[in-house]
Amino acid sequence: MNFSQNETSSRFQKILKGREVLALAFGAMIGWSWVLVTNYWLLSAGTLGTIIAFSIGGLAVALIGLTYGELASAMPKAGGEHIYTSRALGDRWSFVCTWALLFSYINVCAFEAVALPKAIAYLVPDLKLGTLWTVRNADVDISYALIGVIATVIVSAVNYVGIKTAAILQTIVTGMILACGLVLIFGASIQGELTNATPLSATPINGILIVLIMVPAMLVGFDVIPQSAEEIDVDPKKLGILLSLSIALAVLWYILISISVGVALTSDQLESSQMATADAASQLWANLSGGTWAGSLLVIGGIGGILTSWNAFIIGGSRVVFALAESGKLPKYLGKIHPKYKTPHVAIATIGVISSLAPFFGETILVWLINSGSFAVTVAFLFVAISFLVLRKKEPEMPRPFKVKYGNLVGFGAVLMSLMLLSAFLPWSPSALVWPAEWVTIFIWSLLGLIFLAYYEKKTANTLTDEADK
């Protein structure tokens, strides 16, 4: 799957600069979870345990990120993982990797559609209009569903009209998130009490594993850089640097936020809190300036995180769909590029429609989406790490503007870390995915992928046979 420069330029606009690329990846990774589920991490693993989990998970993702950096610089094509694994492992394994990645991206978009109404409800407590139905003990309110659907339409429309518009939005909102987070971190540095963080490790092994399996989902987003590589106007060598920097910044962000909440709230307060990060900010700043304005500010930052993550994953997910359609593994119309806006508009609309269904399933699916999506993206990470090693051996002369030092060490380390992360999801692990909800979701998506793969492989074989007969 090699394209000339002319073909590349006719498909996408090469307009993203370094700052916008960094904002795209970092904004994708920080999302909303730092506001919504920090108390879940701290109660599961303790403050120190959470730091350990993010450090281990961050190291794993950093090694994987280095393999991405080299491959992205060598093959800066839309579709990222799909291109690398196809060249290294062939079409079938490439489809498995890309299908898993798409599942993770769609999960994030669905997660944000459910999380946004919950965030707004913190600022507007009387938001509920009436319950439509209940899903697994979670009420689905009319207003929540409407907000999720309307927001999906808006975010999809921003991406539909061009990546430059999406990048501008991403840069502005990411700056706002950083400012809001710094309010919490600064308040914790002045008013935080280390005694609040005790016990530092709640359940030494199990708790750390419970948080650890969520880390890949928290850090998925750096790979949006290779997905949009054809639209990035940056020296290919810098792609790897930007990618590695974005991972480091995201890990640091999660650790600093967790420490800040840990020293601000006691375990009892964490238990009763619906939004611990916001409550921590309110408590810290109430002692400094009075009022609960800081909590509202953190929620606004969290809403910004929803938008940046959502925006980035529509970009990434639509490019994945584009790559699959272009390679003949999905319907060709899904790979259409808008003649004016130069965006894969059909793929964007398709992801938007799927995301708009999520608010009708209630808040119960939030953790399901994180965990099953985390499993799927870890599968994709494993395939990319293997592809990195295969291409190092198979095509040693391939131009690699960003070439990783100690390639075998990094590559095998990335494979090992990916396998360790995957093992934490499996039934024998105390942090295993939940049966049936999470495993059934993965099974259904896998079955759907097998159907597509079988159908389009048969279609391709028939086409080749017809051409040979002619």
Positive or negative, the Cα torsion across 35, 198, 250, 209? Answer: negative
Structure tokens at 3: 């394209």
Alpha helices in 265-341 (DSSP H): 267-272, 276-289, 293-326
Average pLDDT over residues 301-306: 90
Closest CA to 69 of 105, 25, 29: 25
What does pTM read for this prediction?
Answer: 0.86
Check residue 466 and give its pLDDT.
Answer: 66
Name the strand (E) or helix (H) holding 140: strand 138-141
Mean pLDDT, the chain, whole residue set: 88
- Give the per-residue pLDDT at 6: 39
pLDDT of amino acid 470: 61
The model's pLDDT over 111-149, given as tens digits with 9 standing for 90+, comes to 889 889 988 988 888 888 899 998 878 889 999 999 999
The pLDDT assigned to 383 comes to 96
What 3-state class would DSSP assign to 139?
Answer: strand
Of 457, 414, 16, give the one whose Cα is nearest residue 231: 16
Distance CA 297, CA 284 (A): 13
DSSP 229: G
Taking Cα atoms as reference points, which of 310, 316, 321 lies closest to residue 155?
310
pLDDT at residue 3, rounded to an integer: 41
Residue 181 is encoded by which pair of tokens?
A: 């987070």
Q: What is the pLDDT of residues 4-61, one digit of tens each?
A: 333 444 477 788 888 899 998 998 898 778 888 899 999 999 999 999 999 998 988 8
Domains and CATH numbers, the chain: 5-469 (1.20.1740.10)
DSSP per-residue letters across 23-57: HHHHHHHHTTHHHHSHHHHHHHHHHHHHHHHHHHH
Distance of CA 149 to the CA centre of its chain: 20
The pLDDT assigned to 5 comes to 37
Preceding peptide of 436 cis, ω within 30°: yes
- How far is the CA of 167 from the CAs of 170, 294, 312, 345, in angstroms? 5, 28, 9, 16
Give the pLDDT band of residue 233 (cuts 50, 70, 90).
Answer: confident
Q: Where are the alpha helices (DSSP H) in 31-162?
A: 33-36, 38-74, 81-89, 91-123, 142-160
Q: Which residue has the tokens 């809001």?
A: 180
How many other CB atoms are there within 10 angstroms of residue 410's CB atom? 22
80: left (phi over 0), alpha (psi -120 to 50) or beta: left
DSSP state of 2: -
Q: Rounded CA gap, 55 and 251, in Å?
A: 7
Question: Quick one: pLDDT at residue 290?
Answer: 74
The answer to whether the bond into 399 is cis (omega within 30° of 0) is no
3-class DSSP state of 137 = coil
Structure confidence at residue 103 (pLDDT)? 94
205 or 188, greater pLDDT: 188
182-204 pLDDT tens trace = 999 999 999 999 888 877 776 55
List, in sequence order, every residue forming a beta bridge with 138; answer none if it has no partner.
Answer: 135
pLDDT at position 7: 42
pLDDT value for 468: 65
Q: Is the pLDDT of residue 379 over 50?
A: yes
Which residue's structure tokens are 């108390």? 39
Distance between the two ends of the chain, CA-based, in angstroms? 25
* Angle in degrees, CA 413, 203, 427, rounded to 5: 60
| φ/ψ bin of 275: left (φ > 0), alpha (ψ from -120 to 50), beta (otherwise) | beta
Q: What is the mean pLDDT of residues 383-399?
A: 96
Structure-model confidence comparison of residues 431 and 464, the more confident one:
431
Q: Collapsing DSSP states into helix, strand and coil, what is residue 213?
A: coil
At residue 33, φ and ψ (nearest 5 deg) are: -60, -30
Distances (CA, A) of 311 to 162, 424, 456: 12, 29, 30
Q: Can you give the pLDDT at residue 202?
A: 66
Here the tokens at position 148 are 């999720």
Question: What does 383-443 look like in DSSP terms, one character per residue?
Answer: HHHHHHHHHHHH-TTS--SS--SSHHHHHHHHHHHHHHHHHTTSTTSTTPPPTTHHHHHHH
> Do residues 209 and 424 touch, judged by C-beta distance below 8 A?
yes
